[in-house]
Amino acid sequence: MILEKKKSTCSYCGVGCGVLISKDKKGKIKVEGDPEHPVNKGMLCSKGMNLHYVVEDKSDRLLYPQMRWGKGHALEKVEWDTALTRAAAVFKSMIEKFGSDAVGYYVSGQCLTEEYYLVNKLTKGYLKTNNIDTNSRLCMSSAVMGYVQTLGEDAVPVAYEDIELADCFLVAGANPAWCHPIIWRRVEMQKERNPETKIIVVDPRKTQTCALADLHLQILPGTDTVLFQAIGRCLIEGGNIDWSFIKNHTDGFEAYQEQVMQVSVADAAQMCGVPEDQIVQAATYIAGSKGFLSMWAMGLNQSADGVNKNLSLIDINLITGHIGKPGSGPFSLTGQPNAMGGREVGGMSTLLSSHRKLHDAAHRKEVADFWGVEDLPSKPGLTATQMVEALEEGTMKAIWIICTNPMISLPDARRVENALKKAKFVVVQDISLHAATIPFADLVLPAAGWAEKEGTMTNSERRISYLHKSVAPPGEAIPDAEIIIRFAKKMGFSGFDYKDMGSVFQEHAALTKGTNIDISELDYEYLKSHGTAQWPFVSSAQSGKARLFEDRIFYTPNGRAQIKISGPQSDLEALTPDFPLILTTGRIRDQWHTMTRTGKVNKLKKHVPIPLLEIHPEDAISRKIGDGDTVEIKSRRGTVRVRAQVSESIREGVVFLPMHWGKILGADFAMVNNLTGNAIDPVSKQPDFKYSAVEVMKY
Ligand code: SF4
């Protein structure tokens, strides 16, 4: 017999599917898709369908706080009070001796919004440093800057309901069939309903997403900006732009036109490594559409040229007026379940609460007054990779890592290892015994996991969902929010007396009042009973706003969208005879991030049980590599050893490795970030995971 069903949201990707969690009389947990949820209407992908295994299996969980008394000592079990007293003593002493910027937090797009809000308030308001960054820096920072520069703010303008209203999709640097499956299912259904719908895919790999494509532009990695501008040129030359929209609602068209006319379509085709007629065809499909959605993910964002790629894609929507109307708009596919919620609370080193600007003194004062603190630091904090540098150099002394596994997920793993070894004090707050940072931790704090705590998250379409607590956390694990509050109190900070998570949410909501993401009238109890609401959500509305900019007024100072030219292209790592191939990395269908959860579900492991290097037959033949052979991949940073998968799905000259694997049997020979480097986008500071020079040899 099934007892009460509690509503929650899947804890994996940014699609944000609704689930129902129930327990039978024996305590066995069941997770099913919520048929009433507006996102997935009962559907779940393979990862969502197997969430119950992750909740039930406590075998790999951290159960109690552990501490080492000195660097050479072993971790020992301690009481919560001892652990947090020590953390507070060390943080106070570091700040006193070296200043506030000697400490910092590295958190996660999987944190709940309330957790994010609290740690951001603690860091910026009370520790007086902006050194709080998150693994969202690895995920969405370039998209954020793309939106800010064109639309005036980090605001995804579309809603999922636009999928059913679009008749042309351009999917670039994304494999939603595997990585955002429920969104893709909705696209598939749209194509089934309306077979004339055109789907253009831009990707150096022929992924599962291409199975639905009318056109696949298999470009050379790093050339997306050239491609999008060439499409822009074709649209201009064909007279297929929206002059009225450009004239009345945008700035910057002349400069854009001048830039795109500098490269002929034929030259662009050569640079991108695709036939010229494919570029023309893509423009023809867009020109013929009533509703045009551009969709993208990490292929554009995780690049040293990430912001340029975002700008040049958003420009296509702007010159054709495909924004603020049904079925149209730029639509970044969020990687993590709550990357957007984290940005809403300003939980990154370059952001401020409720999309306020960190560099604006008036905005800082508004937040400081709201929190009842004297001021907020004005200097931007360290971003994810800058924290690694600062720990290595010794200018940052202490780092507190929450719900993320940077030893596996950050680029140039050896450098991360070196930085963590040099840190004076490392706190790891996690659910998993297998977090690869634990060997470097001075303090390990066990956190409650998904379904073991309550709070909210925001998905890719600005939809805030409430997640019920359904089961008790194991051992002495407690919710991340409670750990942050207890630590703040140990530090002697006032301002952390909360009745419950609802009061944290309401404080965050009140801080959004008057901003473009205003949810000040959104009640926690409303979310608990209705489940979800999109932002903005203001008093006059019965529900949140699905589509932004229908009034054609943008969030820029003059209300006009900005068509942007691209800045100088960042240097790509040189391909040389020693390192002639381009390595690109990404997800596989059934694994998530560093596999601390999905890696323990046998059903999910069956899909791709071992890491494989995808390599084109021509590249394999010239290296005498056969399918299934063990190969060694070398970059200027390190090596990886895996089996080869010889496949025509990947472009010649490019190889692909999955991002998920860390240590296997204690060795990190399959860890892709042994190979990746330190290139970052100069504007967004997002690391590049899509272009590393490598060589591959039979092992
Ligand atoms: Fe979860 Fe994303 Fe799959 Fe939906 S599509 S079930 S949110 S992993």
The whole-chain average pLDDT of the chain stands at: 95
Residue 539 resides in a domain:
no
Say what the pLDDT of residue 27 is. 82
- Mean local confidence (pLDDT), 625-648: 97
Per-residue pLDDT for 226 more than 70?
yes
> Greater confidence, 505 or 26?
505
> Greater confidence, 617 or 663?
617
118 and 180 both lie in a single domain = no
Tally of domains within the chain: 4
What CATH number corresponds to the domain at position 24? 3.30.200.210
Please, which residues have CB within 8 angstroms of residue 247's CB and are 6 or more apart in sequence? Answer: none
pLDDT tens digits for range 298-341:
999 999 999 999 999 999 999 999 999 999 999 999 988 998 89
Question: Shortest CA distance to 231 belongs to which of 306, 285, 183, 173?
Answer: 285
- Mean local confidence (pLDDT), 545-571: 95
Q: How confident is the model at residue 2 (pLDDT cuts 50, 70, 90)?
A: low
Any idea of the CA torsion for 294, 296, 299, 302, to the nearest 10 degrees?
A: 120
Question: Shortest CA distance to 462 belongs to which of 530, 512, 532?
Answer: 532
Residue 414 resides in a domain:
yes
pLDDT tens digits for range 64-107:
999 999 988 999 999 999 999 999 999 999 999 999 999 999 99
Provide φ and ψ at 473, rounded to 5°: -70, 155
- Mean local confidence (pLDDT), 591-596: 89
Residue 311 resides in a domain:
yes
Provide φ and ψ at 545, rounded to 5°: -95, 125
135 and 203 both lie in a single domain = no
Q: How far is the CA of 110 from the centre of ligand 1 (A)?
A: 13
Say what the pLDDT of residue 3 is. 61
Pair 461, 158: CB distance under 8 Å = yes
User: How would you label 398-411 residue by residue, b for 16+ Cβ within 10 Å and e otherwise?
Assistant: bbbbbbbbbbbbbb
Cis, bond preceding 536 (omega within 30 deg of 0): yes
Q: Give the rounded percent of residues in the chain with a pLDDT score beyond 70.
A: 99
Residue list, ligand 1 pocket, CB within 6 Å: 10, 12-13, 15-17, 40, 44-45, 47-48, 180-182
- Which of 17, 21, 607 to mutate to test ligand 1, by most ligand atoms within 8 A of the CB atom? 17
Say what the pLDDT of residue 541 is. 63
Pair 311, 566: CB distance under 8 Å = yes
What CATH number corresponds to the domain at position 239? 3.40.228.10
pLDDT tens digits for range 329-354:
999 999 889 988 999 999 999 999 99
Residue 248 resides in a domain:
yes
Say what the pLDDT of residue 662 is. 85
Cβ count near 155 (within 10 Å): 20
Cα 391 to chain centroid, rounded:
23
- By residue range, what is the domain housing residue 205? 141-332
Beta strand residue intervals within 345-390, DSSP E: none
- Which of 51, 182, 463 to mutate to test ligand 1, by most ligand atoms within 8 A of the CB atom? 182
What whole-number distance in Å separates Cα of residue 419 and Cα of residue 636?
19
325 and 391 both lie in a single domain = no
- Mean local confidence (pLDDT), 630-634: 97
Please, which residues have CB within 8 angstroms of residue 177's CB and are 6 or more apart in sequence? Answer: 184, 207, 208, 209, 211, 212
Per-residue pLDDT for 1 more than 60?
no
641 and 528 both lie in a single domain = no
- Mean local confidence (pLDDT), 180-191: 97
The model's pTM? 0.96
230 and 306 both lie in a single domain = yes
Q: Which amino acid is at 298?
A: M
Atom of ligand 1 nearest to the CA of 48: 6
Q: How many Cα atoms within 13 Å fall on the side-chain side of residue 434?
A: 17
For residue 144 the two structure tokens come to 């954020």
417 and 381 both lie in a single domain = yes
Which SS3 state, helix, strand or coil, does residue 276 take? helix
pLDDT tens digits for range 428-487:
999 999 899 999 999 999 999 999 999 999 999 999 999 999 999 999 999 999 999 999
Q: How far is the CA of 38 from the centre of ligand 1 (A)?
A: 13
